[in-house]
Amino acid sequence: LGSWGQGLALAARAGAVLADLEFVQFHPTALDEPKRPMSLISEAVRGEGATLVDETGRRFLSGVQGTELAPRDVLARAVGNHLASGHRVFLDVRERPGPTFARQFPTIALACKEAGIDPARDLIPIRPAQHYHMGGVAVDLAGRTSVQGLWACGEVASTGLHGANRLASNSLTEAVVCARWVAESLRGIPARRAQQTFASDSPSPDPAAVRPVLSRALGVVRNREGLEAAARALLPLAECADATSGPAVVGLMITIAALQRRESRGAHQRTDFPLHAAVARRSEITLEAALRTARELEPRLECLT
């Protein structure tokens, strides 16, 4: 099936409360290629000494604390800003790790080869890519959502454990630990048929129309103007009952959550609110509230069929 936010859409449509949706982690170094999903070039490569340079060969991270080993959000913004100012960004592995690169990182070496890049000779083009969602369906420690009879666990859930910015590798730990708690919570509860059923023949989610809207407005930096434009574009898509509506529902809820968080914190950075609030708070949203807020931005648009 792939992951297109189906779990979030399903829970949202069932009326569940979703939390911290605006916190989306970007990986700073995805292979810049047409293929989707893009291949990631792990930070381990930078840990082995690979450097980030632009098309002039300049190491443009000199002003960034931690340079190549800065946290993901810091690096993703630095790369994103450099790209936005018209540069291209590359990973240079020719010197370090150098000749051992293919042996140390065979999967990445293969991805480069498939993209027609020889890392021993060529610079590897990179750009930030959406990677992990700290937000999700709000759950308690037993995985219970706000909808009776609905549990959530793993990346689809929002336990709050990752705050506004997950540390690499913590998601599998969370999934394993929380899965046990969910299983213990479910033990002895008889299965019952859901009152609301979902058509099993509904089309596979198609994010094609949603992706460019989110890429424009919900990247590594956001602002009110862009988020409002995204909400206006996503509202009619979310209200249509077709393959686009699931991804659009999720995109719209993330957009409204990002609009409503008027601060910069962790993976959520707003150019119009660059500071973080003195007190950290979690955000909660329902689909109904997101639709209402989006409709207030502009009169309701009719679904084109």
Ligand X SMILES: Cc1cc2nc3c(=O)[nH]c(=O)nc-3n(C[C@H](O)[C@H](O)[C@H](O)COP(=O)(O)OP(=O)(O)OC[C@H]3O[C@@H](n4cnc5c(N)ncnc54)[C@H](O)[C@@H]3O)c2cc1C
Among 56, 62, 148, 169, interactor with ligand X by CB under 6 A: 169
Nearer residue to ligand X within complex by CB, 36 or 192? 36
Question: Which residue in the block uniquely carries the two structure tokens 């930070």?
Answer: 43
Task: Quote the tokens at residue 59.
Answer: 């190491």
Closest among 185, 182, 136 to 160, alpha carbons compared? 136
Among 44, 120, 141, 172, interactor with ligand X by CB under 6 A: 172
Asked if 300 is an active-site residue, the reply is no
Question: Which residue in the block uniquely carries the two structure tokens 């409204």?
Answer: 256
**Residue 208 interacting with ligand X (CB under 6 A):** no
Q: List all residues 6 or more positions away from 195 whose beta carbon is below 8 Å from its beta carbon.
A: none
**Hey, which bits of the chain come out as E strands?**
18-19, 24-31, 51-54, 89-92, 124-133, 136-138, 157-158, 284-285
Q: Sheet holding 51-54: strands in order across?
A: 24-31, 124-133, 89-92, 51-54
**Residue 154 interacting with ligand X (CB under 6 A):** yes
Nearer residue to ligand X within complex by CB, 124 or 233? 124
Site stretch for ligand X (CB under 6 A), options 16-24, 94-102, 170-178, 229-237: 170-178
Catalytic position from the list 13, 58, 72, 192: 72
The dihedral built from the CA positions of residue 286, 287, 290 and 293, taken in this order, carries a sign that is negative
Give the number of residues written for the chain. Answer: 305
Task: Quote the tokens at residue 165.
Answer: 């910015």
**Residue 132 interacting with ligand X (CB under 6 A):** yes
| Site track for ligand X across 26-65, x = CB under 6 A | --------------x-------------------------
**Residue 171 interacting with ligand X (CB under 6 A):** yes
Site stretch for ligand X (CB under 6 A), options 84-92, 166-174, 216-224, 245-253: 166-174
Nearer residue to ligand X within complex by CB, 195 or 305? 195
Among 147, 175, 229, 240, interactor with ligand X by CB under 6 A: 175
Share of the chain residues as helix, strand and coil, in percent rounded to the nearest 5: 35, 15, 50
* Separation of alpha carbons 89 and 243, rounded Å: 35
* Separation of alpha carbons 241 and 203, rounded Å: 10
Nearer residue to ligand X within complex by CB, 129 or 294? 129
Site stretch for ligand X (CB under 6 A), options 71-79, 153-161, 185-193, 256-264: 153-161
* Separation of alpha carbons 166 and 172, rounded Å: 11
Among 32, 54, 155, 239, interactor with ligand X by CB under 6 A: 155
**Residue 1 interacting with ligand X (CB under 6 A):** yes
Active-site residues: which are they?
72
Name the site residues for ligand X (rule: CB under 6 A). Answer: 1-3, 6-7, 40, 131-132, 154-156, 169-172, 175
